[in-house]
Every structure is written in structure tokens, then in C-alpha cells.
Structure 1
Amino acid sequence: MQHEKIEYWLNPILPNIELSSANVEKFSFERHVHLDYHIGIVTSGCQQYSHQGKVYHLAPGFISTLNPDEAHNGDNITLGGYQSHVMALPVDYVNDISREMGQAETFFNAPLINNPALSNAFLHLHQLLTTEQDSAAQLHIETTMMAFITELFIQNSDVHNGQMSSQQHTSTKKLSVLQLNYIRTLFHDEPGQAFQLDALALQLDLSKFQFLRQFKQSMGMTPHAYLKRVRLEYAKKALMKGGNLSDIAYQVGFFDQSHFNKAFKNAYLITPSHFQRRVL
């Protein structure tokens, strides 16, 4: 375990959402409350906390979900301590998403959710928000954030209600085939543009939530994931024609060479430079 510490971040793209990571062994969180909704995981060790008269163990694979003004504490119970990652969501942000999902109750029903896949998704989101600060990453950050939060709300409601009705997940406004084709054409025609989720949704007279959910239902992937793959496909075509790697990265929307290299290798199991040497 490293020296005990807690680090804090604010991402300029989502400036009202507080992020923190802690390495804790001897330090104890005294009984306290928060003004915001708190979501947390641990990646190593285990934290024990009491909440409304019950004791819970936050271990890897679990997600802690705490509502504003709910008293709780936090203690280490493992040799070597634990590492945790936490996100604080403002009440207004949670209420906005809840209303769009048709949820009357804007609170977490269970203080602990056992869902390793959702826990891993949270860790990915937390890492993204604490490392990506450039405006070029805005669409990626917003879609990843909203996708996680809505899935968490669905999981939370399923825990409480058994199964939510399909009507609760259905938006009143629909993304038409014409609108879907417009967005796809926009991404193909201008892959280097830094798109923003709210601006895209506004063009279609949809909320960000409606656009994100319905695009994913139609295409099987988020707008950002679709755009990222489009960018990589056009990059491949350009590499096959002998283009300069840095120029290609910029033209298709990657704001630096390292991000381009990483995305390309994750998609095709080969670096852009190696791919170009193979095909030329």
C-alpha cells in the first residue's frame, strides 16, 4: 500500500461532478453525510461501512450507491488497506436523468450492488474522467457517462422492483430512420469534427438521454463508439494510400498521435505504422 492519501479531480467537461481516489489502511471515515449522490468501488482490499443500521462490505466487483444526507462511515478491514474510486453526482444531474427514464423516485434503493460488469464500467469511466481533459474527448466522456448512469439506474430499479416495465425505458420522442441516417452521414462526412452530444441531440429535437439510448438501440453501439470506428476505418484507407501518420490522425479526429496509435491497435491488433508498412 502506498502512503495513505485521497486525491480529487474535476473534469472541465463535467465540471459539477467530483471524482476521488483513495489509498487507505489506518485512516477511518467518521460517520458523515454528503450533499450529492455518491457512487464508489474498490479495486483492491475491502471497505466496511455501516448504513441505516446494517454493515456492508465493499469489495471488488461491488458498487456502493449512497443517497444525499444518508449517514454512513468507512473502515478498512484488510491487511494492506484498500484502494477506492468515488464519483459524486449533483442532485440536479440525477433528477434530470431520472425524469427522462420515467422514474418517480430519484434515489438509490440499495446501498450495495453486486455487479462486476457494472463495476468495471464504472472504473473505466472514472479513469476516463480523471485522465481525459481535452475538449476533443467530450463526446466520448458524455456518452460513456450517460450510458453508465442509465444502466446503473436500471440495475438499481430492478433490484427494488424485480423488473421494470418496458414502458419506463421508452422515450416519448423517437429517433427516426431519417434522423439516424443524417447523424451517420454527418459522422462519415466530417470524421475530424469534435462533436458534442447536446448539440447533436438538439438538432434532432431530442434530449441527450433520448438520443444516446435510441442511437444505441438502433446501431448496437453508442454515438461515440460508432464515430470512433468510422474514424479508424477512414484512417486505414488513408494509410493504404501512403499518407503521413500525424496528418491522418488529425484529419480523422484524433487530437494526438498516442491516442490514434492506441485506438488503432485496440481495434486491429496492429499499430498504424506497422499496418502501413504491411500494405505499401
Structure 2
Amino acid sequence: MSLERSRIWRNQTLPGVELLSASYIKFEFSKHWHDELAIGIIEDGAEGLFYRGNNILVPKHHIVAINPSEVHTGFAGAPKGWRYRMFYFDLPTLVKQFEYTDLPMAPIIDKPVIDDLHLFNELLQLHLSLEISSFDLTKGSLLAITLEKLFTKYGSIKPVDNTRNIDIESAYIAKDFIHDNWERNPSLLELEAVSGCTKFQLIRSFKELFGITPHQLLLLVKVKKAKKLLSEGMSCVETSLTCGFYDQSHFSRNFKLAFGVTPSNYMCS
């Protein structure tokens, strides 16, 4: 059986982003280009590319960035090939992400290979959130966090001085809104509207004040409420529905991340 596989899809929450998850050993891409900004993360092995007149290598846990309309190839850079995930961001989606800020935005990344493990892990979390059941707030927050970091560190946007950009009032308004609406699935757009500041400023302020992001708070509130309901005798299925999780796997995965056991194992303890 071939170990080569590939899957491409779009998440309805972010229709302007195409996603690829693939593993190749002998397959080679011919010369081509993308109209979108292509950002990839190498999960295992290494990818080789012919790009801007040179052969380059993108090893495991590195990020590859191919700017729009840049001709390139793709091939195995290691004997076992490479396993990777790609984002293809269309330009209107990128522009929209920064439309309510005073940050000038051009969809260009300065270098094709980025060695930044923290950003790699954040991009991996984002990609996974767009593949499995995840809250809209999770997807929106991870998208904002990763794009801001990508473009401020390696692109066209100047970094923000966080010490001068903390909005305490907006962060507390967003926190209260999450606590008041924990049963459902509030979005980052809703938090922007009620707090009166941009998603970038809100996430920075929230994390500076509370040590976690808005989507992390939402998940923590939900699983803490779920734990209480389970301890009172509510079934796993009913608890999952009451707390607004998408399905049992979504509930079980996040419960275990918080408490180290699945909901069913917690009920049996």
C-alpha cells in the first residue's frame, strides 16, 4: 500500500483559505505558481524546492512561504520524503484580516524558509482547528494570532509595542461576555463588536491581563461547567450538548486536555 496521501479542503468558517494535508515520498511537483500566499509547515522529513533560481531545503519543524505568483517546484528533500500541511490564503482574505487596523498590509513574506518553532506550533494548531471540530472563536483567534506574528516578524507589517497597546476595559468586557455566553459559540467578530477594539488588540490585551487568549478561556469555562454537570450525574451526551460542544469527540478531546482523563473515565472515577 502506498504511503503517499493527500487531502485538500476548505473550512466553511474561512472560505478564503484552502488547506492541504499530504505525505509524499517519490512524488514531484512540476513548475507552477499559486495566486494565493502559500504557507506550509513540515511535520516530518524534508521538502526540497526549486525557487527563485535555487534549490532550497525545508526540514522538519520549519515553515515554508511561497509568495503569490512565484514559480516553484516541490520534491522530497529526504529519503523518506516529507509530510506537511499547507495554507493557501487568497488575497482578499488577507486584506480583510487587517482592514480595521492602521497597519499597511502587503501579502509578501521576506524569506521562503522560516525557523520559528513557536510560530510553527501555532500554525499547526490553526491547521488542525480547521480540520477537526473546533469553536469559531478558536479558529478566528488562532488565525489572527498566526497572521499577525507571520507578517510582523517576516512580512510587511511593523511590530506593535504591546506595552502601549493594552486595552484593559475591552479585555474585561470580552471576558464578561464569554462568561455570560459560555453555553454557545461566540465568535471573535462578536468580541470585537462588544469590546470596541480590533481582534489583534483584544487578543494582546486579553493575554497580557489574564495569561490566556479568549478562545482558551471559552474552552476552560466550558470544560469546568461540564465537569460540574458530570459530577451531578448528567450523562456525557447530555453534558456535551448542554455545554455547546460540536460532538462527543470534540467534548472528550478538550475535557482530557484540561483534566487528563476523558469524560467517561471521569464519571467512573
Query: Which bin holds the TM-score, normalised by the shorter protein?
Result: 0.7 to 0.9
Report 1:145-184 matches (<5 A).
Answer: 145-157=143-155, 166-167=160-161, 175-177=167-169, 179-184=170-175
The 3 A distance-change label for structure 1 pair 36 and 168 is farther
- Structure 1: runs of 5+ lacking an equivalent: none
C-alpha distance in 2 between matches for 1:228 and 1:142: 14
Q: What is the distance in 2 between the residues matched to 1:57 and 1:233?
A: 45
Q: Which amino acid aligns with 2:118?
A: A
Which of 167, 179, 191 aligns to 1:188? It is 179
Alignment match, 1:59: 59
RMSD of aligned alpha carbons: 2.7
Q: 2:197 aligns with which of 200, 206, 212?
A: 206
Give how far 1:251 is off. 1.7
1:192 maps to amino acid: E
One-letter amino acid matched to 2:73: N
- What is the distance in 1 between the residues matched to 2:267 and 2:26? 53
Residue 5 of structure 1: how far off its partner (Å): 4.3
Give me the whole-angstrom Cα distance separating, in 2, the residues matched to 1:273 and 1:16.
Answer: 38
In structure 2, relative to structure 1, the CA distance for the partners of 1:77 and 1:185 (3 Å cut) is closer
Q: TM-score, normalising length from structure 1? A: 0.84
Contact 2:173–2:194 (CA under 8 A) maintained in structure 1:
no
SS at match of 1:130: coil
Rounded Cα–Cα distance in structure 1 between residues aligned with 2:2 and 2:12: 28
Name the SS for the 2:74 alignment partner.
Answer: strand
Find the counterpart in structure 2 of residue 37 from structure 1. 37
- Shift in Å, 1:123: 2.2
Tell me by how many angstroms 1:89 deviates. 0.6
1:138 and 2:140 aligned: no
Aligned partner of 1:145: which letter?
A: L
CA contact (8 A) 1:101 1:168 kept: no
* Partner residue of 1:245 out of 212, 236, 246: 236
Count matched residues.
268
- Cα distance change of structure 1 residues 48 and 273 upon mapping to structure 2, 3 Å threshold: closer
> Which residue identity lines up with residue 202 of structure 1 in the other structure?
A
Q: Distance in 2 between matches of 1:250 and 1:267?
A: 18
What is the DSSP-based 3-state SS (H/G/I as helix, E as strand, rest coil) of the residue aligned with 2:23?
Answer: strand
Q: CA deviation at 1:166?
A: 4.1
